[in-house]
């Protein structure tokens, strides 16, 4: 037998016994699947939210990212739509108009109350611009203090970002299916009241 025949025989034996060599092109473990942002996926994202004038209203750094399950109402619609199809590592600027964010401002949502209507309210702690929780027939809702006077209190029940265009600089950190525990923890729930 010549040397060429012996080398070929040795290769056949290695292949036949299941031995394999690893190279950078063929690693021992299969690569992680690449998931895209879509309904049902767990997504961790870092972002900065600003208004068109540059005012920052929200920030989630890479060291403390926001974790959500897509399609559960955990993000405003425009932001969720804007990150669809992205993969981990991608960055994007998403511009969200009011209709896909916190809606339009409604002047009827600005209401004035006399102090007689608010007997339990502590006037001394209220300041213009403060965000407070108000107990209403619909449950507890947030409101912004517009003014405080001797006659009463004016509150704005619009969301503070209602009527505003929002700009999000987003960095997707993780995209994967959620575990059963994450499904349980990250599923929003509604409490029904009589």
pLDDT tops 90 at residue 24: no
- 3: enclosing H helix or E strand: helix 3-16
pLDDT category at 20 given cuts 50, 70, 90 is very low
| Threshold 0.75, pTM exceeds | no
* Spatial CB neighbours of 106, under 8 Å, sequence gap ≥ 6: 158, 162
Write down the pLDDT at residue 136.
Answer: 79
pLDDT at 5 over 60: no
Of 9 and 84, which is predicted with more confidence?
84
Tens-digit pLDDT profile for residues 55-88:
999 999 999 999 999 999 999 999 999 999 999 9
Lowest mean pLDDT among 36-40, 98-102, 130-134, 166-170: 130-134
Greater confidence (25 vs 28) lies with 28
Asked if the domains 36-103+162-185 and 107-156 are classified in one and the same CATH topology, the answer is no
In this predicted structure, what is the pLDDT of residue 26?
52
The topology under which CATH files domain 36-103+162-185 is: Chitinase A; domain 3 (3.10.50)
Q: Identify the residue whose tokens are 């009527």.
A: 163
Phi, psi values for residue 139, rounded to 5°: 110, -170
Domain ranges of the chain: 36-103+162-185, 107-156
- Quick one: CA torsion of 78, 182, 88, 29, rounded to 10 degrees? -160
In sequence order, the 6+-apart residues with CB closer than 8 A to the CB of 69 are: 40, 41, 42, 43, 178, 182, 183, 186, 187
Is 107-156 a domain of CATH 3.90.1150.10?
no
Q: What is the mean pLDDT of residues 128-146?
A: 87
């Amino acid at each position: 037998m010549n040397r060429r025949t012996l080398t070929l025989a040795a290769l056949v034996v290695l292949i036949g016994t299941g031995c394999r060599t690893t190279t950078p092109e063929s690693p021992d473990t299969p690569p992680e699947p690449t998931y895209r942002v879509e309904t049902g996926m767990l997504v961790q994202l870092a972002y900065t939210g600003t208004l068109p004038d540059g005012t920052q209203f929200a920030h989630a750094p890479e060291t403390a990212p926001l974790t959500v399950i897509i399609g559960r109402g955990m993000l405003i619609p425009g932001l969720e739509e804007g990150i669809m199809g992205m993969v981990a590592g991608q960055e994007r600027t998403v511009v969200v108009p009011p209709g896909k964010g916190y809606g339009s401002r409604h002047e009827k949502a600005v209401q004035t109350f006399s102090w007689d209507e608010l007997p339990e309210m502590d006037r001394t702690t209220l300041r213009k611009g403060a965000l407070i929780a108000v107990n209403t027939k619909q449950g507890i809702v947030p409101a912004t203090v517009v003014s405080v006077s001797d006659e009463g209190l004016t509150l704005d029940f619009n969301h503070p970002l209602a009527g505003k265009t929002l700009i999000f600089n987003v960095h997707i950190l993780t995209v994967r299916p959620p575990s059963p525990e994450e499904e349980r923890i990250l599923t929003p729930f509604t409490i029904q009241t009589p």
